[in-house]
Amino acid sequence: MKKILILNGPNLNLLGTREPAQYGYETLADVEENCRKVAAEYGYDAECFQSNTEGSLIDAIHKAGREFTQDECAGVVFNPGAYTHTSIALHDAIKGVEVPVVEVHISNVHAREAFRHHSYISPVAAGTIIGMGTKGYKLALDFLLDK
């Protein structure tokens, strides 16, 4: 079965306990389970991966790019966390592969600290969903899979 990659960056493993007023009470496991359900409705498997290290996220993007060219992966839903605002390497990884990537942020980064207003990911993403809570993951899946 064809898959979609749900990729989460640093500190998203703390969902449900880290700043719940900002990010809510759903855990990463809850988010991943919801993504699996939505993907299954479209006839896809959701492969979920979270890492606090930049290199592991880059490797996952490269792998998804290879799988996309082999028609094994439909795209990537990516919440890069704080790497959004700092990682030219993630920007280059996405730019270097053909797989469509939708950038997702649970909180409205534009209503937060000024350093969060710039994204290195947005210019190379197929789309960006910001501030819709964890429902942003579903919106990204709908965008990528409803063809």
Return the CATH number at 90: 3.40.50.9100
pLDDT (0 to 100) of residue 54: 98
Tell me how far apart the alpha carbons of residues 82 and 11 are, in angstroms, rounded to a whole number.
8
pLDDT score, position 111: 66
Domain around 126: 3-145
Per the annotation, the verdict on 91 as an active-site residue is: no
Whether residue 75 contacts residue 68, with contact meaning beta carbons closer than 8 Å, is answered with yes
Reply yes or no on whether 23 is catalytic: yes
Spot the catalytic one: 44, 105, 120, 137: 105
Considering its fold, how many domains does the chain have in total? 1
Q: pTM of the full predicted structure?
A: 0.93
Question: Across the 147 residues of the chain, what is the mean pLDDT of every consecutive 10-residue run?
Answer: 95 86 84 98 98 98 98 98 94 98 90 77 97 96 92
Question: Residues annotated in the binding site, as ranges?
Answer: 79, 85, 92, 106-107, 116
Beta strand extents in 80-141 (DSSP E only): 101-105, 127-130
pLDDT at 126: 98
